[in-house]
Amino acid sequence: MVVQKEKKTINRLKSMYPLRAKVNETYLKSVEAIQAGKPAVWGMLNFYYGDPILKAMDIEVVYPENYGAIAAAMGVAQQYLDRADAEGFPTHLCGYSLTTLGYASRMMKELKGQIPPEAPLGGMPRPLFLMSSAAICDARYKWFQALGRYMDVPVWPLEAPLPGIKEFLIEGCYDRMVKLGVKNLRDFVTFVEGMVGRNMDWDRLDKTANLMIEVNRVWHEVNELRKARPCPMHSRDFWSAMPAALFLAGDLEDSLRLYQDMYKEVKDRVDNHVAAIPNEKYRLVFAELPPWHSLAFFDKLAERGWNFVIESVGYHPPIPIDLSKVSDPLERITKFSLQFLVGYYEEARKQNVLGGTTAYPYLKYAKEWKCDGALLHPLISCRSASTHLPYVSDMLTEKLKVPSLSIEGDIVDLRLFNPEEALAKAEPFEETMDHYKKMRKQAGFDW
Amino acid sequence: MSDKNKGLNRARQIYSNRSQRARELKAAGKKIIGYPCAYVPLEMLTALDLVAYQTCGDMKEPITEADRALPHSFCPVMRNCLDCALKNKNDFLDGMVTIHSCDPQEKTARVWESYTNYPYFHFIDMPISVRPEALEYFKSQLDDFRKTLEGFTGKKLSTDKINAAIKAHNRQRALVRELYELTKPSPPRISGTELVQVIKALTSLPVAEGNDLLTETLAEVRNRTEGPAKKSARLLIWSSTLDDADVMDVFEAKANVVMNESCGGIRAYRADVKSSADPLEGLANYYLNEITCARTFRQATLGETRKDYARDLRSRFGYLKGIITEWKINGAIMLLVRYCDPFAFEMPSLKDYFNTLGTPNTYIEYDYTTGALAPLRTRVEAFLETIS
């Protein structure tokens, strides 16, 4: 690999840091909540569906998926993985799930419910209940069911309907999805009320839903600014800043202000042509989950002029939708959540890209963010974030003449990702991107 | 001596050349619709005179074409199914019906539809829970399926037609259960391998022909004097799918497999579609509630605010207790097809449940290739030694 003399590093956004801090704040709050006799819940990322309910009920939530990434990044995941293996869970299961199962086993069987002392960020306290989700993958409800081995806490499964893009157009399909969603959510509210012994404050829920939608609208606008050339914000800032919008981590009014600050900073960079890296030579889209344990890898690529301008569709806010006329907050929440699942369907149908939720957005990203290439990161233990990647690669090449580089890894098991080997592929891929740039020009594309 | 074109011999022939009858029917003007999973309501196809044909994988077929569409660390059964489709092995199909029974089914469906060009392709969405609103949504999905089927065939799916189809498929379920009754004696009257062949033959035939095959097979098995030999153990196999006779042979080399609780065995036949004023309601209820695949989230009480692990296990696996008692099972094998997440998450809990029943058990994983058979044999033999 040719190492350039000039050192290039990612120019991080100042407005990202307080947003990133919200993750730590959430874990500490959940531990404090338990200590103060307040409930804490383990939740699965649910795409804006169950979270506002818990937020309005003043219940602290921690996300084992997120915690799995933290445990991996801080080097303590391996002992939990080993423990889950010893408990009989197959090693090819989701790395986040194995981390949680190993953690729960250690906490409940070995430490009688006490948080393991080695657990980072104060650890995840014993939950009052578990909120699982059917969205995106099977693991995200089976894994919480499997936790029943270690803790007798009830599980609420949140439904996430996902018809095909063609079938979605059948008259009444969307309305029936909404009906399922609203009823499922209404019963969830009753369940939560029963668990915590108090009633929902519907005015507060109404306000929470609106704030959630507004936070995500501003966050969406921040990412729209990244279409600028040079791109003002790198994927690393996206991943650092996303939890406040995606998990609703922290106080929502505060989050709204912080995303507005971020918008201003990014807009200022756009206006002044300030890039996220010193010399943007290649613009790339990243799919899907990053190697949390090896994020410095992106600094190495930044040194080569690789700017990651868009990424991880599953972490992006839904395309904004006007829900101001929907008076029932549960219906508003349901429609906002469904927008994440089916928001790209209409465009995907027009383009005949049948992977409407997972594959099509990458075509849109590559085209509108003017990407030269895609870096795909198939994960050994996360099939939901990997399955569509060969199809994405095929579609990007066929429809947009955008090439892909696939680098295998894992979200938790750092042994499966080799940054040196991955970096060795950078130079030949640059030649590929140069080649496809010419092909795009010949095909009449404008980048 | 048994007729070579009837009963078990015919099942064996169909098993060995599954698409032959479908191709004959196609040549005679019938429309053939493929489906990859036991959750597709076949009654709706039968009611419109469509022939349902399960698109299975072929363990002996090396995967080459599916590599461009699906990653390696993915359900090998679905990779194999798709591979066969991309190699045009199902070129007689007029359409496909897929369903969101699990992630691999959903993800493969998108790719399958993208890379093939059948005149008809429909995807049915399926909720994960058995809550009332989930059932209502699933019924509406079946109604959407009805609409596209009617559009494809140009025929109306009347209540009478669908009720007649439900009756025919319930008859098939009852006949399969009768066949499994014949594994209760010791030695069983029919082997696990023969049952795999019969069940797989059923998934290749129109329901009426399947019922004829079952009737012949039942008569033959009841009357035959030479059946399987008595082996050292009577096994229950619990799996997502065990539909290959070569795999079953590995288990039956030294044991009698008297219950195949998988989609290649009794799973899709253990209950009936109940009659209801709205047949789609009956179908929705059967397919969402009655098929005991690990993909469905079950709990002791809907919306429970207290949980008890023992009750939870009974709600998820309680149906196995009766099987263990009635079939006098003395060993259970949890057979995992690698990368099958819904079943993989169940393994430690199911082990707990088997342990509460005092049933010796083991967990074995394989990757749905012929290369997996030798290590599988070693694992099975080791388990049989521990329980003998």
Instruction: For residue range B202-237, list pLDDT tens digits in order.
Output: 999 999 999 999 999 999 999 999 999 999 999 999
What mean pLDDT do residues B30-45 have?
A: 98
Q: Where does a domain end: B85, B108, B129?
A: B129
Quick check: A159 and B137 CB within 8 A?
yes
Cα separation values, A87 from A40, A75, A84, B295, Å: 26, 21, 5, 21
Contact call for residues A390 and B70 (beta carbons, < 8 A):
yes
What mean pLDDT do residues A420-424 have?
A: 89
Q: Find the DSSP H helices in A13-160.
A: 16-35, 51-56, 64-73, 77-86, 95-105, 139-146
Tens digits of residue pLDDT in A382-406:
888 899 999 999 999 999 999 999 9
Q: Is pLDDT above 60 for A54?
A: yes
Of the pLDDT bands very low, low, confident and very high (cuts 50, 70, 90), residue A409 is confident
Of A94, A143, A161, the CB nearest to B137: A161
The verdict on B99 and B168 lying in the same domain is no
Edge-to-edge order in the sheet of strand A282-287: A306-311, A282-287, A373-376, A404-406
Q: What is the pLDDT of residue A4?
A: 46
User: Per the domain annotation, does A10 fall within a domain?
Assistant: no
- Residue B186's CB is within 10 A of a number of other CB atoms, namely 12
- How many distinct structural domains can be found in chain A? 1
Is the model more confident about B189 or about A34? Answer: B189
- DSSP character string of B201-242: HHTTS-HHHHHHHHHHHHHHHHH-S--PPP-S-EEEEEES--
| Chain A positions in Cβ-Cβ contact with residue B102 (cut-off 8 Å) | 138
Q: Is pLDDT above 70 for B351?
A: yes
Q: What is the pLDDT of residue B293?
A: 97
Scored b (16 or more CB within 10 A) or e, B132-154 reads ebbbbbbbbbbbbbbebbeebbe
Please tell me the number of Cα atoms within 13 Å of A377 on its side-chain side. 24
Q: What is the pLDDT of residue A414?
A: 74
The verdict on B30 and B79 lying in the same domain is yes
User: Per the domain annotation, does B56 fall within a domain?
Assistant: yes
Contact call for residues A152 and A126 (beta carbons, < 8 A):
no
Of B71, B122, B348, the CB nearest to A389: B71
**DSSP conformational letter for A149:** G
Residues 6 or more apart whose Cβ sits within 8 Å of residue A416? A380, A408, A409, A410
Of B110, B136, B299, the CB nearest to A355: B110
The verdict on B104 and B233 lying in the same domain is no
Q: What is the pLDDT of residue A294?
A: 83
Contact call for residues B216 and B190 (beta carbons, < 8 A):
no
- Nearest in space to A50 (alpha carbons), one of A129, A118, A108: A129
Q: Which residue is closest to B144 within chain A, CA to CA?
A: A170
- Residue A240's CB is within 10 A of a number of other CB atoms, namely 18
Q: Which residues pair with B34 in a beta bridge?
A: B53, B96
Of B73, B306, B309, the CB nearest to A92: B73
User: Per the domain annotation, does A201 fall within a domain?
Assistant: yes
Q: What is the pLDDT of residue B55?
A: 97
Is the sign of the CA dihedral A325, A327, A328, A332 positive or negative? positive
Of the pLDDT bands very low, low, confident and very high (cuts 50, 70, 90), residue B253 is very high
Which secondary-structure segment (H or E) carries A90? none
The C-alpha of B12 sits at a distance from chain A's nearest C-alpha, in angstroms, of 35
Max CA-CA distance within chain A?
A: 66
Quick check: B309 and A386 CB within 8 A?
no
CATH number of B288's domain: 3.40.50.11900
Q: What is the pLDDT of residue A415?
A: 76
Average pLDDT, chain A: 93
User: Per the domain annotation, does B140 fall within a domain?
Assistant: no
Q: Which residue is closest to A101 within chain B, CA to CA?
A: B345
Q: Is pLDDT above 80 for A1?
A: no
Edge-to-edge order in the sheet of strand A155-158: A60-62, A40-43, A130-133, A155-158
Quick check: A166 and B123 CB within 8 A?
yes
| Chain B positions in Cβ-Cβ contact with residue A105 (cut-off 8 Å) | none
What mean pLDDT do residues B344-368 have?
A: 97
User: Per the domain annotation, does A3 fall within a domain?
Assistant: no
Tens digits of residue pLDDT in A319-377:
999 999 999 999 999 999 999 999 999 999 998 888 768 889 999 999 999 999 999 99
Give the structural domain span for B358.
163-387
Quick check: B309 and A152 CB within 8 A?
yes
Quick check: A394 and B365 CB within 8 A?
no
Of B100, B121, B348, the CB nearest to A89: B348
Assembly ipTM? 0.95
User: Per the domain annotation, does B154 fall within a domain?
Assistant: no
| Chain B positions in Cβ-Cβ contact with residue A353 (cut-off 8 Å) | 114
Q: Which residue is closest to A98 within chain B, CA to CA?
A: B345
Q: What is the pLDDT of residue A6?
A: 45
What mean pLDDT do residues B260-280 have?
A: 97
| Chain A positions in Cβ-Cβ contact with residue B336 (cut-off 8 Å) | 90
Q: Where does a domain end: B79, B106, B129?
A: B129
Tens digits of residue pLDDT in A201-259:
999 999 999 999 999 999 999 999 999 999 999 999 999 999 999 999 889 999 999 99
The verdict on B102 and B173 lying in the same domain is no
Quick check: B342 and A138 CB within 8 A?
yes
Burial class (CB in 10 A: 0-12, 13-18, 19+), A442: exposed
User: Per the domain annotation, does B1 fall within a domain?
Assistant: no
User: Per the domain annotation, does A329 fall within a domain?
Assistant: yes
Q: What is the pLDDT of residue B122?
A: 98
Of the pLDDT bands very low, low, confident and very high (cuts 50, 70, 90), residue B2 is low
Q: Alpha-carbon distance B277 to B174, whole Å? A: 22
User: Per the domain annotation, does A103 fall within a domain?
Assistant: yes
The C-alpha of A326 sits at a distance from chain B's nearest C-alpha, in angstroms, of 21
Quick check: B306 and A154 CB within 8 A?
yes
Tens digits of residue pLDDT in A68-78:
988 988 889 99
Cα separation values, A23 from A77, A121, A126, A215, Å: 18, 9, 18, 16
Scored b (16 or more CB within 10 A) or e, A8-41 reads bebbebebbebbbbbbebbbebbbebbeeeebbb
The C-alpha of A376 sits at a distance from chain B's nearest C-alpha, in angstroms, of 12
Q: What is the pLDDT of residue B65?
A: 93
Of the pLDDT bands very low, low, confident and very high (cuts 50, 70, 90), residue A49 is very high
Q: Alpha-carbon distance A361 to A348, whole Å? A: 8
3-state SS record for B258-310: EEEECCCCCHHHCCCCCCCCCHHHHHHHHHHHHCCCCCCECCCCCCCCCCCHH
Q: Where does a domain end: B129, B154, B185?
A: B129
The verdict on B95 and B227 lying in the same domain is no
Quick check: B137 and A176 CB within 8 A?
yes
User: Per the domain annotation, does B149 fall within a domain?
Assistant: no
Quick check: A163 and B141 CB within 8 A?
yes
User: Per the domain annotation, does A2 fall within a domain?
Assistant: no
CATH number of B108's domain: 3.40.50.11890
Of B113, B144, B341, the CB nearest to A170: B144
The C-alpha of B98 sits at a distance from chain A's nearest C-alpha, in angstroms, of 10
User: Per the domain annotation, does A59 fall within a domain?
Assistant: yes
Q: Alpha-carbon distance A107 to A99, whole Å? A: 12
Q: Alpha-carbon distance B237 to B266, whole Å? A: 11
Q: What is the pLDDT of residue A7?
A: 53
Scored b (16 or more CB within 10 A) or e, A122-152 reads bbbbbbbbbbbbbbbbbbbbbbbbbbbbbbe
Q: Alpha-carbon distance B55 to B18, whole Å? A: 10
The C-alpha of A65 sits at a distance from chain B's nearest C-alpha, in angstroms, of 16
User: Per the domain annotation, does B79 fall within a domain?
Assistant: yes
- Nearest in space to A135 (alpha carbons), one of B79, B103, B294: B103
The C-alpha of A396 sits at a distance from chain B's nearest C-alpha, in angstroms, of 13
Q: Alpha-carbon distance B344 to B80, whole Å? A: 19
Tens digits of residue pLDDT in A95-151:
999 999 999 999 999 999 999 999 998 899 999 999 999 998 999 999 999 999 999
**DSSP conformational letter for A317:** P
Quick check: A383 and B129 CB within 8 A?
no
Residues 6 or more apart whose Cβ sits within 8 Å of residue B185? none
The verdict on B303 and B171 lying in the same domain is yes
Give the structural domain span for A235.
16-442
| Chain A positions in Cβ-Cβ contact with residue B129 (cut-off 8 Å) | 134, 157, 159
Q: Alpha-carbon distance A73 to A413, whole Å? A: 10
Residue A310, SS3? Answer: strand
Tens digits of residue pLDDT in A185-200:
999 999 999 999 999 9
Q: Which residue is closest to B340 within chain A, CA to CA?
A: A93
- In total, the C-beta contacts within 8 angstroms joining chain A to chain B are 182
**Residue in this structure with the two tokens 């915590």, named with its chain if needed:** A196
The verdict on B342 and B223 lying in the same domain is yes
Of A132, A170, A386, the CB nearest to B147: A170
User: Per the domain annotation, does A205 fall within a domain?
Assistant: yes
Q: Alpha-carbon distance A85 to A250, whole Å? A: 34
Of A90, A132, A353, the CB nearest to B347: A90
Quick check: B110 and A179 CB within 8 A?
no
- Residue B216's CB is within 10 A of a number of other CB atoms, namely 19
- Nearest in space to A388 (alpha carbons), one of A400, A401, A369, A374: A374
Residues 6 or more apart whose Cβ sits within 8 Å of residue A326? A332, A335
Scored b (16 or more CB within 10 A) or e, B8-41 reads bbbbbbbbeebbebbeebbeeeebbbbbbbbbbb
What mean pLDDT do residues B323-330 have?
A: 98
> For residue B68, what are its two tokens?
């461009």
Q: What is the CA radius of gyration of chain B?
A: 20
Chain-centroid distance, C-alpha A282: 24
Q: Alpha-carbon distance A408 to A380, whole Å? A: 7
- Nearest in space to A93 (alpha carbons), one of B326, B77, B181, B338: B338
The C-alpha of B5 sits at a distance from chain A's nearest C-alpha, in angstroms, of 42
**Residue in this structure with the two tokens 């040194």, named with its chain if needed:** A303
User: Per the domain annotation, does B168 fall within a domain?
Assistant: yes
Q: Is pLDDT above 50 for B165?
A: yes
Q: Alpha-carbon distance A60 to A30, whole Å? A: 5
Of the pLDDT bands very low, low, confident and very high (cuts 50, 70, 90), residue B69 is confident
Cα separation values, A425 from A277, A396, A420, B34, Å: 20, 19, 9, 42
Q: Which of A83, A137, A145 best tests the B interface by mutation, with the highest count of B CBs <10 A?
A: A145
The verdict on B41 and B188 lying in the same domain is no
Q: Alpha-carbon distance B334 to B312, whole Å? A: 19
- How many distinct structural domains can be found in chain B? 2
User: Per the domain annotation, does B137 fall within a domain?
Assistant: no
- Residue B108's CB is within 10 A of a number of other CB atoms, namely 26
Burial class (CB in 10 A: 0-12, 13-18, 19+), A162: buried
Quick check: B348 and A88 CB within 8 A?
yes
Q: What is the pLDDT of residue A5?
A: 46
Average pLDDT, chain B: 96
Q: What is the CA radius of gyration of chain A?
A: 22
| Chain B positions in Cβ-Cβ contact with residue A189 (cut-off 8 Å) | none
- Nearest in space to B270 (alpha carbons), one of B234, B245, B238: B238
Q: What is the pLDDT of residue A381?
A: 79
